[in-house]
Structure 1
């Protein structure tokens, strides 16, 4: 794990080494892991870290059967709508008047929390601030389940269902559009077994399924996986959708094509870890003569990674901002 994050440094300063927390939407942090018996996260990668340390890890889409006895701490996400969703979720699943603390970095928008809490009729006390982070205290109020956060919109003749925090929420990004244009001519007309790595709201999966391909979609985020399932259902399309930390849920399964618009951000930090594993391990999950097709911002170092992993690759499309790469097994 990386060095202790500023928000967790603030928690250590406030709670001390005796801290026992119940983090919600936490970051990856060794101190936090060691000071929590349970957590809730949409990230299967983070849940697996907690589970590997014999700690309870829940998704927001499963029931909370055991109420927390430790201090609940919500890590305020950079996406404001997602922070609102987590607050509503906590108020729905926990008894009224349950103490909740909220922590986050100033550049991530945590300074908006007092106004958000006031608008929801929730109390707010500022507990501490340091390391350009703030810590607030509040208590739950009675709320309905936050289902209204799901957003449905149409794009490219597909009905998309999305959720705050999912990549491309509410729109189809330019890179994905360039990728789909390239796939239109790059893929043969016969049905293929295709893996959509990092499926997001399911735009690529639905596009492929409409053209008769057998699609498996994976994403590290439970929000994204659920959005993809809802998108496929809304378009009366079939596909397998799994939560997976890159290839972790695929157990050696192989495909004719792996397609991806891989992420390179974790909150505000640049991270090439997932995309590097996507490229380096692709051959293990490709059938003979299979192909990896991905789109990326032109400034990202993917040509070097593709060269090392495959030896050869080519460019299918380039609009000066994004480039579509193809590598053959």
Structure 2
């Protein structure tokens, strides 16, 4: 039990609160499920965690906020783990209240360093009688009764649209709580797009790894159409449910082509591409975490056609140049600023 996240251990200290049909929203460690009970519902928006949840007997696993297993008023106890992005908490609470039966208990668990104090204000805005039941493992546990379930939870109500213009190309981008760079074009992606305009990728099919809301693929196809060039099909992969939902919506809105899929890295992906582009993540919550990108760089060559191009933007302080050199080919710096570097390499 000592290897469990603090929030999961804090929940286990209060397992006497878990009655009837239990749902865990935002669970991050599947090993907690058998310790909670022999059945229930567990939701994660992370493709890798969801895959692991699917292997726990007796538990119904759900991927993200649009999983068909999420049904109205089916739970007696709903545990909401504090998400990394505070904007996502209202989203998760709205889902919890829709899943709750009349008289259900809603439990909010989170670490102090993750902002549980502020999260409690969001909880009490919906359930004013919520009270603290425990403080342990650097976490707080809050509980409230749901007198009546919410009658509506529509995914479309949580999607926002932002117009992004770069290098003369405008696209409409879908956003949802928790999605990277919500409502703006981040500096690293902008630098990558600059290089795509100046030094175009010569490929009929491109893979956008960690595609987020589909900005790179939509912009690239828009730029190609505007320049009267052949339009590449841009497939997308992302680990997060909301990103996949948004990227598909962004592609539909902008008339783009490409297959958007959920995937935790490349290990479960079939096929090779003549080009792969990426602005990969390097944070897990508030911590710097380059493990996903390092794994990607170890595996990416097997998904590039011979001579195929990798183009990657990353914070300049991250040591990706030598990893690209080791696993793909000669790493060329196409663009470098104080904060970001765009690398290009061709599979040797």
TM-score (norm 2): 0.86
Aligned residue among 229, 235, 256 for 2:254: 235
Q: Could you tell me how far apart the structure 1 residues matched to 2:102 and 2:267 are?
A: 38
Q: Select 1:200's aligned residue among 180, 191, 212.
A: 212
SS state at 1:95 partner: strand
- Asked if the contact 1:122–1:139 (Cα under 8 Å) also holds between the matched residues in 2, the reply is no
TM-score (norm 1): 0.90
For residues 297 and 243 of structure 1, the distance between their equivalents in structure 2, rounded to whole angstroms, comes to 24
The residue number in structure 2 matching 1:132 is 138
SS at match of 1:87: helix
Q: What's the offset of the Cα at 1:268? A: 2.2
Q: What is the CA–CA distance in structure 2 between the aligned matches of 1:249 and 1:33, rounded to whole Å?
A: 26
Structure 1 window deviating more from structure 2 (178-187 vs 53-62): it is 53-62
Aligned to 2:15: 15
TM-superposed CA distance for 1:282, in Å, is 0.7
- Trace 1:144-293 onto structure 2 (pairs within 5 A): 144-146=152-154, 147-156=156-165, 157-188=170-201, 191-210=203-222, 211=224, 212-251=231-270, 253-293=271-311
Does residue 52 (structure 1) correspond to residue 55 (structure 2)? The answer is yes
Structure 1: gaps (5+ residues): none
What is aligned with 1:88?
94
Question: In terms of mean alpha carbon deviation, does 31-40 or 306-315 score higher?
Answer: 31-40
Q: How many residue pairs end up in the alignment? A: 326
Shift of 1:69: 6.0
Task: State the 1:236 CA deviation.
Answer: 1.8
Change in Cα spacing, 1:2 to 1:114, as seen in structure 2 (3 Å) is closer
Structure 2: runs of 5 or more not aligned: 225-230
Contact 1:40/1:57 (8 A) holds in 2: yes
Q: Residues 143 and 134 of structure 1: is their aligned pair in 2 closer, same or farther, counting only changes over 3 Å?
A: farther
* Range moving further from structure 2, 123-132 or 140-149: 140-149
Q: Distance in 1 between matches of 2:280 and 2:108?
A: 30
Name the counterpart of 2:120: 114
Conservation of the 8 A alpha-carbon contact between 2:6 and 2:137? yes
Q: Give deviations 1:140-183, integer Å, cap 9, x for gaps.
A: 34252154321111112111111110111111110000011111
Structure-2 residue corresponding to 1:24: 25
Kept in 2: contact 1:5–1:29 (CA 8 A): no
Q: Could you tell me how far apart the structure 1 residues matched to 2:280 and 2:124 are? A: 38
Aligned counterparts of 1:197 and 1:78: Cα–Cα separation in 2:
21
**SS state of the match for residue 237, structure 2?**
strand
Aligned-pair CA distance for 1:33: 6.5
